[in-house]
Amino acid sequence: MTRTIGKLRTSIRPTVVAVFFLATTLTAALAIGLQYYFGQAMARQNAAKLYTAAAASISKELDNISNVNDNIMALLVDNP
Protein backbone atom coordinates (compact mmCIF):
# COMPACT_ATOMS: atom_id res chain seq x y z
CA MET A 1 0.00 0.00 0.00
CA THR A 2 1.47 3.31 -1.01
CA ARG A 3 0.42 6.81 -0.40
CA THR A 4 1.15 9.86 -2.48
CA ILE A 5 1.66 13.16 -0.69
CA GLY A 6 2.28 15.74 -3.35
CA LYS A 7 5.21 14.35 -5.33
CA LEU A 8 6.54 12.30 -2.38
CA ARG A 9 5.52 8.67 -2.49
CA THR A 10 5.75 6.69 0.78
CA SER A 11 5.02 3.13 1.77
CA ILE A 12 3.56 2.18 5.14
CA ARG A 13 6.10 -0.53 6.02
CA PRO A 14 9.24 1.69 5.83
CA THR A 15 7.39 4.45 7.64
CA VAL A 16 6.41 2.13 10.50
CA VAL A 17 9.93 0.70 10.68
CA ALA A 18 11.45 4.20 10.69
CA VAL A 19 9.09 5.42 13.43
CA PHE A 20 9.79 2.29 15.50
CA PHE A 21 13.54 2.73 15.04
CA LEU A 22 13.35 6.42 15.99
CA ALA A 23 11.22 5.73 19.09
CA THR A 24 13.50 2.89 20.18
CA THR A 25 16.61 5.02 19.70
CA LEU A 26 15.18 7.95 21.65
CA THR A 27 14.01 5.68 24.48
CA ALA A 28 17.40 3.96 24.69
CA ALA A 29 19.25 7.29 24.67
CA LEU A 30 17.02 8.65 27.43
CA ALA A 31 17.44 5.50 29.53
CA ILE A 32 21.22 5.53 29.14
CA GLY A 33 21.38 9.23 29.98
CA LEU A 34 19.29 8.82 33.13
CA GLN A 35 21.30 5.77 34.19
CA TYR A 36 24.54 7.74 33.78
CA TYR A 37 23.20 10.75 35.69
CA PHE A 38 21.85 8.81 38.65
CA GLY A 39 24.81 6.42 38.72
CA GLN A 40 27.17 9.38 38.89
CA ALA A 41 25.12 10.98 41.68
CA MET A 42 25.13 7.72 43.64
CA ALA A 43 28.89 7.35 43.19
CA ARG A 44 29.46 10.88 44.49
CA GLN A 45 27.24 10.21 47.50
CA ASN A 46 29.06 7.01 48.37
CA ALA A 47 32.46 8.66 47.92
CA ALA A 48 31.42 11.48 50.25
CA LYS A 49 30.29 8.95 52.87
CA LEU A 50 33.57 7.04 52.61
CA TYR A 51 35.65 10.22 52.86
CA THR A 52 33.64 11.36 55.88
CA ALA A 53 34.14 8.00 57.59
CA ALA A 54 37.87 8.05 56.81
CA ALA A 55 38.21 11.61 58.12
CA ALA A 56 36.40 10.70 61.35
CA SER A 57 38.64 7.66 61.82
CA ILE A 58 41.81 9.68 61.21
CA SER A 59 40.62 12.41 63.56
CA LYS A 60 39.92 9.86 66.29
CA GLU A 61 43.36 8.30 65.81
CA LEU A 62 45.07 11.70 66.01
CA ASP A 63 43.15 12.47 69.21
CA ASN A 64 44.36 9.18 70.69
CA ILE A 65 47.96 9.99 69.74
CA SER A 66 47.57 13.43 71.30
CA ASN A 67 46.26 11.87 74.53
CA VAL A 68 49.17 9.43 74.63
CA ASN A 69 51.63 12.29 74.13
CA ASP A 70 49.95 14.30 76.90
CA ASN A 71 50.21 11.33 79.26
CA ILE A 72 53.87 10.81 78.40
CA MET A 73 54.63 14.49 78.97
CA ALA A 74 52.82 14.39 82.33
CA LEU A 75 54.86 11.35 83.37
CA LEU A 76 58.10 13.04 82.30
CA VAL A 77 57.23 16.19 84.24
CA ASP A 78 56.38 14.20 87.38
CA ASN A 79 59.52 12.02 87.15
CA PRO A 80 62.51 14.16 86.20
Q: Give the C-alpha separation, 70 to 36, whole Å.
A: 50
Instruction: Output the pLDDT for position 34.
Output: 96
Measured between alpha carbons, how far is residue 49 from residues 19, 55, 58, 74, 77 in Å? 45, 10, 14, 37, 42
Taking only the tens place, the pLDDT of each residue in 5-60 is 666 777 888 899 999 999 999 999 999 999 999 999 999 999 999 999 999 999 99
Instruction: Output the pLDDT for position 30.
Output: 98
Instruction: Output the pLDDT for position 24.
Output: 98
DSSP state of 79: -
- Domain count across the chain: 1
Domain with 21, as residue range(s), is: 2-78
CB-neighbour burial class of residue 6 (10 A; exposed 0-12, middle 13-18, buried 19+) = exposed
Instruction: Output the pLDDT for position 1.
Output: 59
